[in-house]
Homo-oligomer: A and B are copies of this chain.
Amino acid sequence: MSLTNASPADAAQAAKSASHILATLSAEARNEALTAMHDALAAARDEILAANARDLELARQAAADGKLSQSLVARLDLGKKGKFDDMLKGILDVRDLEDPVGRVTLRTRLDHGLELERVTCPIGVLLIIFEARPEVIANIAALAIKSANAAILKGGKESTESFVAISRVISAALDKTHVPNDAIQLVTTRDVISDLLSLDRYIDLVIPRGSSDLVRHVKNSTRIPVLGHADGLCALYLDPSADPALAAEVVVDSKTNYPAACNSLETLLVHDAALSTLLPGVASALAAKGVELRCDPASKAALAAVPGLKLVDATDADYRTEFLNLTLAVKTVAGVDEAIAHINAHGSHHTDCILTSDAQQAERFMAGVDSSGVYWNASTRFADGTRYGFGTEVGISTNKIHSRGPVGLEGLMIYKYKLRGHGQVSATYGEGEGKKRYLHERLPLEH
């Protein structure tokens, strides 16, 4: 790892060269580097926490002056119970995942002695732009080394002292390993984001980790592919056949388990036949958790007699709003097709759910909704790489190519085709007389 004051272009070019070496390292060499990184960080805990304390001091002053939010100060604090240990454990967790590099995903015999193989390989150079959490730097460095991608890291200025301290420790540790120094670079120069985002010649993928404003800004400022999502506008459709207790439980969890999360519920679509049967129970359960409902006229009328609800008239904008708090938009629909159309037009293609006991309705919904996650009778909150069993999460993507939904290490990989021959030439093959035909024989993936 290097802590660079080089120009963005020089840093990116160096990262590209390093990526070509990193791509050829064995899994053992990459795992050893992760162990070295872990051990060095564990040994340098005091020094890193001291640096973090200096960041915190400044941040607290800024917060007191009203220039910084308290929640940002909290995110900055690496000394909080368990946080440093979690960071260390995260490195070993990533190390112990299955190696994503060099997996054979297709093998075809084109002709005798001419075999095509499709093999996973790293994408190349990642640019990770993140905000205040200092532990992200260790997490990202681990993911990059495990996946054999080089990475350029650009963190928020509030964590500079912490980043520099962590980066020095990682750098010294990696020096004794086979990972080239330029493979992981921390850019500390100010105001370089737009320069970095223009370097599509060297940088292959941008991963913004932070607020939806950050993601939106990055997406609008670069031609490099961006992995992530700006919004999580998740909807749930309540079919009349849903079980009432199940409906209340799933809606409450989806909305209130962690309202600020991207996989939390923002819009409830209710079949008109469920307005008087299911909605009152669901609404009461939500009200018990403090949720305010923004209702269309039909749903509001259906709830008029229910005591203890916070009801507000919905506007059109409410159906396009990611509230990220205890507010839920409610809308009446005539059936599953209207629900699907509403979600496809208003949603953010993140995660959407149907509650029903009718399998046909469920399958229709899951086929028709154009989102990365389509759920039947399960909370939208399950949309998460760790919950999906990926071991780690790079982010959640609402892109329509490459990776969609929670992205694990696989999302940092691409593939190459290896063709091994014995001097075969293309002129030999074809449809004409005297020409050979291709065999195109599918071979087992393992030798």
Give chain A's interface residues, CB within 8 Å of chain B. 19-20, 23-24, 108, 110, 114, 116, 123-124, 204-205, 219-220, 223, 225, 243, 245-246, 249-250, 252-254, 257, 340-341, 344, 362, 364, 366-368, 370-379, 381-383, 387-389, 400-406, 414-427, 429, 438, 440
On whether A400 and B204 interact (CB within 8 A), knowing A23-B367, A417-B373, A422-B377, the answer reads yes
User: Known interface pairs A370-B124, A373-B416, A418-B376. Does A427 touch B389 (Cβ–Cβ under 8 Å)?
Assistant: no
Cα distance, A423 to B370, chains bound together (Å): 22
Say yes or no: A110 contacts B389, CB within 8 Å.
yes
Q: Which of B220, B401, B422 contacts A414 (CB 8 A)?
A: B401
Identify the 8 closest CB pairs spanning chains A and B, nearest first: A378-B421, A253-B425, A389-B440, A246-B423, A381-B426, A204-B400, A402-B402, A401-B402
Could you tell me if A379 and B249 are in contact, using CB atoms closer than 8 angstroms?
no
User: Chain B contacts of A406 at CB under 8 A?
Assistant: 417
- Establish whether residues B366 and A418, one from each chain, have CB atoms under 8 Å apart when the complex forms: yes
User: Can you sample 12 A-B contacts with CB below 8 Å?
Assistant: A20-B344, A20-B370, A123-B401, A246-B423, A250-B425, A253-B427, A366-B416, A371-B416, A376-B421, A378-B421, A378-B425, A401-B403
Docked-complex contact B250 and A423, CB < 8 angstroms: yes
B377 touches A420 (CB 8 A): yes
Contact A253 B426, CB 8 Å, known A382-B419, A400-B414, A401-B204: yes
Once the chains are docked, how many angstroms separate the CA of A376 from the CA of B419? 6
Find A378's partner among B362, B400, B424 (CB 8 Å cutoff): B424
On chain B, the residues within 8 Å of A388 by CB distance are: 108, 110, 116, 417
Evaluate contact between A416 and B389: CB separation under 8 angstroms: no
The residue from B20, B243, B370, B414 contacting A368, defined by CB atoms under 8 A apart: B20
A377 close to B423 (CB less than 8 A): yes
B387 lies within 8 A of A418 (CB): no
Complex Cα–Cα for A420 and B375 (A) = 6
Q: Contacts A20-B368, A223-B223, A427-B257 given: A205-B421 contact, CB under 8 Å?
A: no
Q: Could you list 6 further interchain pairs (A-B, Cβ under 8 angstroms) beyond the known A114-B382, A373-B416, A379-B426?
A: A204-B401, A225-B400, A373-B417, A375-B420, A376-B418, A377-B421
User: How many Å lie between the Cα of A418 and that of B372 in the bound state?
Assistant: 8
The CA-CA distance from A374 to B119 in the complex, in Å, is 11
A417 in contact with B405 (CB, 8 Å): yes
In the bound assembly, the distance between CA atoms of A426 and B367 in angstroms comes to: 24
- Among B245, B257, B401, the residue within 8 A (CB) of A426 is B257
Cα A379 to Cα B375 in complex, Å, equals 48
Closest to A114 in B: B378
A382 touches B418 (CB 8 A): no
User: Within the assembled complex, what's the spacing in Å between the Cα atoms of A226 and B80?
Assistant: 45
Contact partner, A417, options B108, B340, B374, B422, Cβ 8 Å: B374
Q: Is the CB of A419 within 8 A of B375?
A: yes
Instruction: Name the B residues within 8 Å of A257 (CB-CB).
Output: 425-427
The answer to whether A368 touches B24, judged by C-beta atoms less than 8 angstroms apart, is: yes
